[in-house]
Amino acid sequence: MPKKIDIATTKRIEGSRYPAPFDQPCNARVRQVLGDAAGLTQFGVNLCRLSAGAWSSQRHWHTAEDEFVYVLEGTVTLVSDAGEEILRPGDCVGFKAGASDGHHLQNRSDRDALFLEIGTRREQEDETFYPDIDLHAPEGAVGYTHKDGTKYPAKNPQ
């Protein structure tokens, strides 16, 4: 049985599950779920394509999940608590679980950007904070709440 993953047949996730209006900057994001295709359970791997103007996510940080990004094509701007940095093909960045450094990538160029996202799978233990907006992902929860704990309406999973 072949082990090679046929990327063309992997699950594609377009946009985000964020509630409106927080989903808008991420609508032109497409993730291909590579880790699931390999049967990985301890960490996830996604091939992410950002169209011009798109964001990878809202600026966030995780309590229990490490994140690593490796840029393959195009140029993205990393926005973090430390400021802004341009990332080009061959550049990489990582974020340790529990470090309260809100971060995301923005494609401010006029062409697509492509990068690998690799991260720990600890959804049941993880809590995600969004420092710039009224959004929170509580530990083990499916879905989002306001910072005061009020739930946002469920959005169809993608």
- Report pLDDT digits (tens) over 62-103: 999 999 999 999 999 999 999 999 999 999 999 999 999 999
What average pLDDT does the segment 22-50 reach? 96
Q: How confident is the model at residue 154 (pLDDT cuts 50, 70, 90)?
A: confident
**Domain 13-137 maps to which CATH number in 2.60.120.10, 3.30.70.1230, 3.30.1310.10, 1.20.1260.10?**
2.60.120.10
- One DSSP character per residue, 90-134 reads T-EEEE-TT----EEEE--SSS-EEEEEEEE--TTT--EEETTTT
Compute the distance between CA of residue 33 and CA of residue 36 in angstroms, rounded to an integer. 6
Q: Are 114 and 47 spatial neighbours (Cβ–Cβ below 8 Å)?
A: yes
Largest CA distance in the chain: 50
Instruction: Enter the pTM of the model.
Output: 0.92
* Low-confidence winner among 60-74, 102-116, 128-142 (lowest mean pLDDT): 128-142
Give the pair of three-digit tokens for residue 144.
Answer: 């989002």
The structural domains of the chain, with segments of one domain joined by +, span 13-137
Whether residue 157 is predicted with pLDDT greater than 80 in this model: the reply is no
Whether residue 158 is predicted with pLDDT greater than 80 in this model: the reply is no
Compute the distance between CA of residue 47 and CA of residue 109 in angstroms, rounded to an integer. 19
Omega before 21 within 30 of 0, i.e. cis: yes
Whether residue 156 is predicted with pLDDT greater than 70 in this model: the reply is no
Q: How confident is the model at residue 140 (pLDDT cuts 50, 70, 90)?
A: confident
5: DSSP letter: -
Strand order in the sheet with 113-120: 12-14, 29-33, 43-50, 113-120, 67-73, 92-95
